[in-house]
Structure 1
Amino acid sequence: MTSPIKIDIWSDIACPWCYIGKRHLEGGLAALGDDAPEVEIEYHSFELAPDTPVDFEGSEVDFLAGHKGIPMEQARMMIDRVTGVAAQAGLDYDYDALQHTKTLKAHELLHFAKEQGRQLELSERLFRAYFTEGRHVGRTDELVELAAEVGLDADAAREALESGRYGAAVQADIAQAGAYGIRGVPFFVFEGKYGVSGAQPAEVFSQVLTQVAGERDGAAA
């Protein structure tokens, strides 16, 4: 019995391409059907905009223009483009409702969820809350509610966030990304040796998974 293929994903809850990349990876696995290998997925922290205030006043266009220096018209075009790509992946992004915020606490909660065996469920829940439901994923009360929705203990989740005890784990992930030379997310690492950057099409993930599985079968023969 071979162990699952390990997929490490560096990602940020506030990254629109990370949610799309998640769907494309899932699509790549689904496309392999009965030939799909078993996988073990682990999410790692990456803050795209660590200087973001928790309570940012304004829209995503305002953030891109004011904090990133991108012209307003170009920012609107970027958002329209990513919304269109997301729709093709079955995701209904709502940038009018989106509440831009700092994602540090969300990353801490993901580390707590990993210890409880609920990281994948929480990752999906946070993405959906942020991009399609207009929830504020920077505030502890909101994060605790979302944690409870995926079966995590609300009191334990609150304690984890208020104590800040997963802060070091978040920074360790970010440092590891730097060691790997990761400058943008999503970034997928298969079996600790193959890197895939960006929200590649589903067929790319199918090819990588098939290649890795084939190499493992060859090595075991």
Structure 2
Amino acid sequence: MIGIMSRLPAHPLAGQSVGYARVSSVSQNLDGQTDALAAAGCAKVFADTASGKLTERPELALCLGYLRAGDTLVVWRLDRLGRSLRHLVETVNALAERGVAFRSLHEGIDTTTSTGRLIFHIFAALAEFERELIAERSAIGRQAARARGREGGRPAKLSPEQVKLARARYEGKDVSVSEIARAFGVGRGTIYRALEQPAS
């Protein structure tokens, strides 16, 4: 049965193809995906209507819980399953550890074949490479910031000169904190935090 399921359905003998489909909004139609999955031999199809960036996809959770060793998870396209390359690789690897294979119809990937497994090993290597690049860039950015006397984190909303001016106006008691905040285009909390800093 296609659509939202209130509970995990009973599983027949292992070895079946199970489909998963997803669209990102209610205005999009699932029929193209579900038809392709049915034509590919999927006895059951789980379907979500949710953004790929959302962590909560109830039908995917049901689908993953339904799968048994010997089954094959089938999707119409890779991006229907994974929010990112890393997430896709992690999901498929977790399935492989449970003895569940994976197929993507659009890309022609099938991990029951040696070619399909090779392609996924390449994806896993690319995901690791991407992760290392991000970590390396972050480390270089932090090192460059330290070399310029800056620490990591969110940039300050007020410069040291603005903090001094805000302190002088506040201690002069001629304007309110709200007026100081409006003058600098920041919130009152920013002004209060600036005033709590030791005077230089």
Q: TM-score, normalised by structure 2?
A: 0.23
Q: Which has the higher contact order (CA 8 A, sep 6+)?
A: 1
Higher helix share: 1
Q: TM-score, normalised by structure 1?
A: 0.21
